[in-house]
Amino acid sequence: MTTETVQINPTIIKAFVHSTKNVLSTMANTQCTIGKPYLKEKNTSHYDVSGIVGFTGEIIGSVVISFTSEMAIKLVEQFTGENYTADSDYFADAVGELSNMIAGNAKSEFGLTAGISIPSVIIGTNHSVARMSDVPCVVIPCETPYGKMAVEVNVKCVG
Amino acid sequence: MTTETVQINPTIIKAFVHSTKNVLSTMANTQCTIGKPYLKEKNTSHYDVSGIVGFTGEIIGSVVISFTSEMAIKLVEQFTGENYTADSDYFADAVGELSNMIAGNAKSEFGLTAGISIPSVIIGTNHSVARMSDVPCVVIPCETPYGKMAVEVNVKCVG
């Protein structure tokens, strides 16, 4: 795994840490405690709701922001003021919007020229988002009053 | 839904139809019959395996290529010559690679300046990929000897 470790730019991980804390705090009035980021080696994490945003340009890959259903519903309620169920279109839009803001704010901080795709939102009990074997994946664990979430950064710099 | 219909560029949908048929045929020796593409209005489709590729540039959004587990395992076997289970890293890599080729070949055909992200692969029984309400989503249904799959094109042109 040595070559993967070398490819990871700590500035990018720090930018996602800051961005996650800021977006949750300012947009959803939710404080989160960030755990120690670690390298994901196996596709063993399972979640109920994930927002995925792709990156292209000097940095390529994706960021995946994953939650349990309960956590995502609470967070969306804090963000929108409404108690949507996970099958609502508004719920998916809200998760997508939060994911988009986390990706966009991080991009502003790390300063590379990159495009970000429109978010995709996965709804499905106990799904996993597989990492591609040629892209390192750093997991940023986050704890909030509503439960745990994870920000998985699957990117490599090509600029 | 009228405004959405107007935004959809038939050249893009045709490019994904051609690309899907070509990639399956040439890379996985699998013929597929394309059904009539339709506008997805509700997040009601559920799958077991999805490959997602994001687009940025003159076209933004994503393409989601979804399968049942059985279908994906058969297709990966045709593509790689190996019978991987859905929890294998090689399986996810193969689904990602097929998704990447379908997105990349379509992009070459429709000719817009666009970046494509590294694929994300979702593994989870009966998950759905929500569409964002401000991006039209056209579903291209495909039938193969191994089962049904769907190519969902969630893009809008901004170039």
Provide the pLDDT for residue B76: 97
Contacts of A120 in chain B (CB under 8 A): 52, 54, 62, 64, 120, 129-130, 154
From CA A117, how far away is CA A56, in angstroms rounded? 8
Give percent above pLDDT 70 in chain B: 94
Given B54, B115, B123, which is nearest A62 (Cβ)? B54
Q: Give the residue, A58 or A7, on which the prediction is more confident.
A: A58
**Gyration radius (Cα) of chain A, Å:** 15
- Using the beta-carbon criterion (under 8 Å), do B131 and A92 form an inter-chain contact? yes
Higher pLDDT, A155 or B20: B20
Residues of B within 8 A of A133 (CB-CB) are: 89, 93
Chain A: residues touching B (Cβ < 8 Å): 42-43, 46, 50, 52-57, 60-62, 64, 87, 89, 92-93, 95-96, 115-133, 135, 154
CATH of the domain at A129: 3.40.1550.10
**Residue B7: pLDDT band by 50, 70, 90 thresholds?**
low
AA letter at A67: F
- Residues in chain B within 8 Å Cβ distance of A62: 54, 117-118, 120
- Is residue A53 within 8 A of residue A117, CB to CB? The reply is yes
**Chain B residue with Cα closest to A91:** B130
Chain center to CA of B138: 11
Query: What's the domain count of chain A?
Result: 1
Which class for B88: exposed (0-12), middle (13-18), buried (19 or more C-beta within 10 A)?
middle
- In percent, the amount of chain A with pLDDT more than 70 equals 94
Rounded to an integer, what distance in angstroms lies between the CA atom of residue B20 and that of residue B142?
9
Which of B34, B32, B62, B67 shows the shortest CA–CA distance to B50? B67
Q: What does the alpha-carbon distance between residue A63 and residue A55 come to, in Å, rounded to a whole number?
A: 8
Q: Which H or E run includes B133? A: none
Residue scoring higher pLDDT (A19 or B131): A19
Question: Are the beta carbons of B92 and A132 separated by less than 8 Å?
Answer: yes
Interface predicted TM-score (ipTM) of this complex, two decimals: 0.87
Max CA distance (Å), chain B: 46
Q: How confident is the model at residue B93 (pLDDT cuts 50, 70, 90)?
A: very high
Q: How confident is the model at residue A138 (pLDDT cuts 50, 70, 90)?
A: very high
Q: Which domain holds residue B151?
A: 2-157
**Alpha-carbon gap: A31 to the closest alpha carbon of chain B (Å):** 27
Cβ pair A153, A137 in contact under 8 A: yes
pLDDT class for A42, splitting at 50, 70, 90?
Answer: confident
The pLDDT > 90 percentage for chain B reads: 70
Amino acid A158: pLDDT: 83
Cα–Cα dist B23/A76, whole Å: 39
Least confident of A1-5, A58-62, B49-53, B154-158: A1-5
Q: What does pTM read for this prediction?
A: 0.90
Tell me if A122 and B128 make a contact (CB, 8 A cut-off): yes
DSSP class of residue B145? T
**Residue type at B108?**
S
- Residue B126: left if φ>0, alpha if ψ -120 to 50, beta else—which one? left
The CB density around residue A88, as the number of other CB atoms within 10 Å, is 17
Quick one: A145 exposed, middle or buried, by C-beta within 10 A (0-12, 13-18, 19+)? exposed
| Residue A44 pLDDT level (bands cut at 50, 70, 90) | confident
Residues of chain B positioned with their CB less than 8 A from the CB of A115: 56-57, 60, 115
Looking at residue A7, what is its pLDDT? 61
Q: Are residues B132 and A53, on separate chains, in Cβ contact within 8 Å?
A: no
Q: A12 pLDDT exceeds 70?
A: yes
